[in-house]
Amino acid sequence: MAWWETVLVAFGLAMDAFAVSVCKGVSMRKAAWKNGVLIGVVFGGFQFLMPVAGYFLGSAFSSLVEGFDHWIAFGLLCLIGVKMLVESFQADHEACDLSLRATELLGLGVATSIDALAVGLSLAFLETDILAASAVIGVVTFGLSFLGFILGRRIGSFIRRRAGFFGGLILLFIGVRILIEHLLAA
């Protein structure tokens, strides 16, 4: 995977964390920098760890799926992308609250990075340098989560829904590109 594709995947994956961070920023009376950093560290950390876990899981089975691994990568990325697109059009039922409890943040960190686990699985089939890719994903997620929290105080719900839409489009684009590239090479 090219470096620019890794960056696009990172932005796509970070959109869930960005949207949750905006929600948290909207709900806080005062958007303190330390709260934004805390959210960024938690979300960025999980977005770094989950692709690594998915990669090692995928590597264990890569020899069994070598002939159709590009279809798996395409399917997973498109499934995640479509899920994000659909969610961006659904009514926003999530209530933002004022808390930043550790258990809640850890739960949100896992919830916003489950997609990254599936992407890590896809990256195993593409023989990607997982530590470099995961570092990019983690850093981008940290930055966007921090920014989302701070922006949440200013423009809030306007950008929350659009983040999921554009993240979904990015992942769909990468999935289709992987499939087309593999089919043209065959």
Cβ-contact 54, 124 below 8 angstroms: yes
Q: Give the pLDDT of residue 94.
A: 52
pTM of the full structure: 0.74
- Of 87, 91, 96, 76, the residue nearest 172 (C-alpha): 76
- Which string of DSSP letters, residue by residue, matches 53-104? HHHHHHHHHGGGSGGGHHHHHHHHHHHHHHHHHHHHHS---PPP-S---HHH
pLDDT (tens digit, 0 to 9) for every residue of the chain, 186 residues total? 788 889 999 998 898 888 888 878 877 766 578 888 999 999 999 999 999 999 998 888 777 776 777 787 788 778 877 887 787 777 554 555 556 778 888 888 888 888 888 889 888 888 789 999 999 999 999 999 999 888 887 776 566 667 667 767 777 877 787 788 778 876
